[in-house]
A = this chain, B = another copy of it.
Amino acid sequence: MSNLQNDLFIRALLKQNVERTPVWMMRQAGRYLPEYRQVRGKAGSFMQLCTNPELACEVTLQPVDRFGFDAAILFSDILTIPDAMGLGLSFAEGEGPQFARPLRTADDVHNLPIPDPETELRYVMDAVRLIKARLLGRAPLIGFSGSPWTLATYMVEGRSSKNFQLVKGMLFEQPLLMHELLDKLAQSVAAYLNAQIAAGADAVMVFDTWGGVLSHDAYPEFSLRYARQVRQLLNTHRDGRRIPAILFTKGGGLWLEAMAETGYEALGLDWQTSIGAARARVGDKVALQGNMDPVTLYASPDVIRGHVAKILHDYGQGSGHVFNLGHGILPDIDPEHVRAMVEAVRELSPQYHV
């Protein structure tokens, strides 16, 4: 089927039989790893690390080398698209992302270009190609993007937000303008992910980090609708091989049924949701990825092992589960605790695939 020596992750997303549950971690290439901090130190700024294919490749491979994760995920940022649109992304130390030119007027939205990934985001595609070459089929490579709604929150607010006053203000007062913005973003995200697929990504994931701040009636109209549009525009195959897509809305546990109707092969779950209950609600339609509370990794290896066992048991027999955290790993976790999690998944999961 492919040149992948380990395609557990892809098979689990497609609900094909697997010998054990595959495992990877959101933000697995990150600050908790000393070898990451070393590369980060020599890169200069965070954006210099993101935009340097050689270094992005190096940190992408680190956690695969160290832990043998069943998937690699492109090292990049969710805000590369708005940066390529001209908003001027930077990261102030300890402050998170900032845009020099946030969207303030209707003309700002009208004038937004849809970036050509192979030119304006070439550094990402170069990283994907380099990672694929260096992975040598050891694990599938996940490409990713922020969701249209999540990108819009940063583009309108200009930075991380607590109450999302500006972007919700646009949503309430100028819904047509918001729809124009989200449609442009959906086209841009789809083009970006399709370019990553063409460059070698074996699966893609859409991070709707801020979908959960919307109300129950705004979420389907302003977030989910555009996640669906992205999925409809995505290439589903490369060289005859299925490229599955994962949708993750942090805080979206109430809306899983609607999320499962959008064409994504899998849904990411945070730790508020029981993965067993989620499977009962939507498991015939999609695979599920998650969902250990990232804070669990501060606990002792024995406690971690117990939590892994509970989640595997909660999901139960059969394929369709990708083990992961419910959100990104925190920066001061002991890497040996990650190893305890990975080993527990390897040792405890085969019994659910007999």
Contacts and interface: CB of A to CB of B under 8 A. Distances in A.
B163 A271 contact: no
Interface in A275-326: 277, 293-296, 298-300, 303, 310, 326
Q: Size range of the interface on A?
A: 20 to 34
Of the listed residues A172, A273, A298, A310, the one surrounded by the most CB atoms of chain B closer than 10 A to its CB is A172
A29 B254 CA distance: 31
A15 to B, nearest CB: 23
Interface in A198-224: 212, 214-218
A86 to B, nearest CB: 27
Contact of A295 (B165, B253, B272, B300): B165
A295 B166 CA distance: 9
A299 B172 contact: yes
Contacts of A34: none
A330 interface: yes
A273 B303 contact: no
Nearest to A296: B172
A169 interface: yes
A295 B210 CA distance: 15
A251 interface: yes
B172 A310 contact: no
A141 B251 CA distance: 33
B298 A273 contact: no
A352 interface: no
Interface string A149-191: 0000000000000011100110011000000000000000000
A274 interface: yes
A293 B254 CA distance: 16
Interface string A250-268: 0101100000000000000
Contacts of A168: 293, 295-296, 298
8 nearest interchain CB pairs? A172-B299, A215-B271, A216-B274, A168-B295, A215-B293, A253-B254, A172-B303, A169-B298
Given A169-B295, A169-B298, A173-B300, 7 more contacts: A163-B295, A168-B295, A172-B296, A216-B277, A251-B272, A254-B254, A254-B272
